[in-house]
Structure 1
Amino acid sequence: MAEGLAAWAQRAATGHLAVGRLVREAMRAMEAQGLEDVDPDEAAEVVERDPALTLHVVGAANAVEHRHLDSEVGTVRHAALMLGTARLFPLARTLPVDDEVLRGDALEGYRHAVARARRAAVLARDWARQRGDQLPEEVYVAALVPFAGELAAWTWEPQAMVAVEEAVSDGIAREDAEYIVLGCALARVSAAVARVWGLPPLGVQALDPANALQPRTYGVMLAAELGAALDRGWADPVARATLAQAAAWLETGVTALEGRARELLAEAGLAVPESVPPPPRAHYALAPRPDRYAAALAALAEAPPTPVDRAVELALDALHEGLGLNRVVYARLVRHGEALRAHRIRGTEHSPAFNRFELALLGGHLFAELVERGGCLRVSAADEGTWRRVPEAVRELVGVPVFLTAAVRRRGEAVGLLYADRRHPDLPISGDEHARFAAVVDRLEQTLSAG
Structure 2
Amino acid sequence: MSNKTPKRLQDWVEWLGERPLPRHPALAPDFGAESALLTWQLQQDPAAVVGLLRRAAAVRHRHLDTRLEGTEEALIMLGRNGVAACWEALPPADRLLHGEALTRYLRCHARAVHAARQAEEWVRLRHDRRPSEVADATLIRHMGELMLRAHAPERMAEVDALATDARLDADAETAVLGFTLQDLAISLGNHWRLPYLALEDLSGIRPLSQRSQAVLLALRLARVAEDPRAARELPVLIQALSHYMGDSEDHARRVTLETAQVIHEQTPPPTGWSPTLALDGDRGPSPSTPAPFCLAPRADIRARVAAELEREDFDRARLELLTRHRLDNREAVLISLVLTGLHEGLGLNRTLFLRAPRRGEHLQLFLQRGALGDPLLHEMTVTPAHSPLLREVIDQAPAYRLCQPTQGRDRLPEPLQRFNGGQPCLLASLRVNDRLAGLFYADRHLAGCGLDGTAAMGFRHFCEQAGRRLQRLADEHHHLS
* Aligned residue type for 1:5: L
Moved more, 355-364 or 88-97: 355-364
Moved more, 340-349 or 97-106: 340-349
Among residues 221, 229, 248, which one is paired with 2:216 in the alignment?
A: 221
Q: How many residues align?
A: 440
Shift of 1:186: 1.8
Q: Do structure 1's residue 437 and structure 2's residue 446 form an aligned pair?
A: no
Output the CA distance in 1 between the equivalents of 2:131 and 2:21: 24
Among residues 332, 348, 371, which one is paired with 1:309 in the alignment?
A: 332
SS at match of 1:21: coil
Shift of 1:21: 1.6
1:363-382: CA deviations, max 9, x gaps? 46433454555224232339
Instruction: From the superposition, tell whether residues 220 and 336 of structure 1 become closer, same or farther in structure 2 (CA, over 3 Å).
Output: farther
Q: Do structure 1's residue 366 and structure 2's residue 389 form an aligned pair?
A: yes
Aligned pairs (5 A) from 1:364-443: 365-371=388-394, 373-381=396-404, 387-388=410-411, 390-391=412-413, 393-410=415-432, 413-443=435-465
Q: Do structure 1's residue 115 and structure 2's residue 137 form an aligned pair?
A: no
SS at match of 1:414: strand
1:319 is aligned to: 342
2:26 is aligned to: 22
Percent same amino acid among aligned pairs?
27
Output the CA distance in 2 between the equivalents of 1:383 and 1:164: 32
Among residues 296, 301, 308, which one is paired with 1:292 in the alignment?
A: 301
* Aligned residue type for 1:12: L
Instruction: From the superposition, tell whether residues 101 and 441 of structure 1 become closer, same or farther in structure 2 (CA, over 3 Å).
Output: same
Shift of 1:163: 3.1
SS at match of 1:428: coil
Instruction: From the superposition, tell whether residues 382 and 220 of structure 1 become closer, same or farther in structure 2 (CA, over 3 Å).
Output: closer
Output the CA distance in 1 between the equivalents of 2:393 and 2:193: 41
Contact 1:17 1:151 in 2 (8 A): yes
Gaps of 5+ in 1: 31-36
Instruction: From the superposition, tell whether residues 393 and 128 of structure 1 become closer, same or farther in structure 2 (CA, over 3 Å).
Output: closer
TM-score normalised according to structure 1 size: 0.86
2:372 is aligned to: 349
SS at match of 2:296: coil
1:259-318: CA deviations, max 9, x gaps? 333333333324422437334153443211111111123334212793433322221211
Output the CA distance in 2 between the equivalents of 1:74 and 1:436: 45
Shift of 1:171: 8.5
Output the CA distance in 2 between the equivalents of 1:85 and 1:363: 60
2:320 is aligned to: none
Contact 1:234 1:240 in 2 (8 A): no
Among residues 141, 155, 162, which one is paired with 2:157 in the alignment?
A: 162
Instruction: From the superposition, tell whether residues 289 and 137 of structure 1 become closer, same or farther in structure 2 (CA, over 3 Å).
Output: same
SS at match of 1:143: helix
1:168-211: CA deviations, max 9, x gaps? 34787223332333333222222222221222222222543324
Among residues 272, 287, 290, which one is paired with 1:278 in the alignment?
A: 287
Output the CA distance in 1 between the equivalents of 2:190 and 2:332: 18
Output the CA distance in 1 between the equivalents of 2:204 and 2:405: 31
Output the CA distance in 1 between the equivalents of 2:433 and 2:198: 36
Contact 1:170 1:282 in 2 (8 A): no
Backbone CA RMSD of aligned residues: 3.1
SS at match of 1:209: coil
1:34 is aligned to: none
Instruction: From the superposition, tell whether residues 147 and 365 of structure 1 become closer, same or farther in structure 2 (CA, over 3 Å).
Output: farther
SS at match of 1:96: coil
Instruction: From the superposition, tell whether residues 80 and 381 of structure 1 become closer, same or farther in structure 2 (CA, over 3 Å).
Output: same
* Aligned residue type for 1:402: P
1:396-421: CA deviations, max 9, x gaps? 32124421122345555434322111
Contact 2:167 2:230 in 1 (8 A): no
Output the CA distance in 1 between the equivalents of 2:391 and 2:358: 14
SS at match of 1:378: strand
Q: Do structure 1's residue 76 and structure 2's residue 87 form an aligned pair?
A: no
* Aligned residue type for 2:442: A
* Aligned residue type for 1:287: A
Output the CA distance in 2 between the equivalents of 1:259 and 1:234: 21
Output the CA distance in 2 between the equivalents of 1:177 and 1:235: 16
Output the CA distance in 2 between the equivalents of 1:385 and 1:126: 42
SS at match of 1:91: helix
* Aligned residue type for 1:16: P
Shift of 1:68: 6.3
Output the CA distance in 2 between the equivalents of 1:263 and 1:401: 34
Shift of 1:121: 0.8
Output the CA distance in 2 between the equivalents of 1:4 and 1:42: 40
TM-score normalised according to structure 2 size: 0.81
Among residues 9, 20, 27, which one is paired with 1:5 in the alignment?
A: 9
SS at match of 1:99: helix
Instruction: From the superposition, tell whether residues 234 and 329 of structure 1 become closer, same or farther in structure 2 (CA, over 3 Å).
Output: closer
1:336-363: CA deviations, max 9, x gaps? 4432233322222232223443212334
* Aligned residue type for 2:29: A
1:33 is aligned to: none
Shift of 1:98: 0.9
Shift of 1:225: 0.9
1:15-34: CA deviations, max 9, x gaps? 221111233x436xx3xxxx
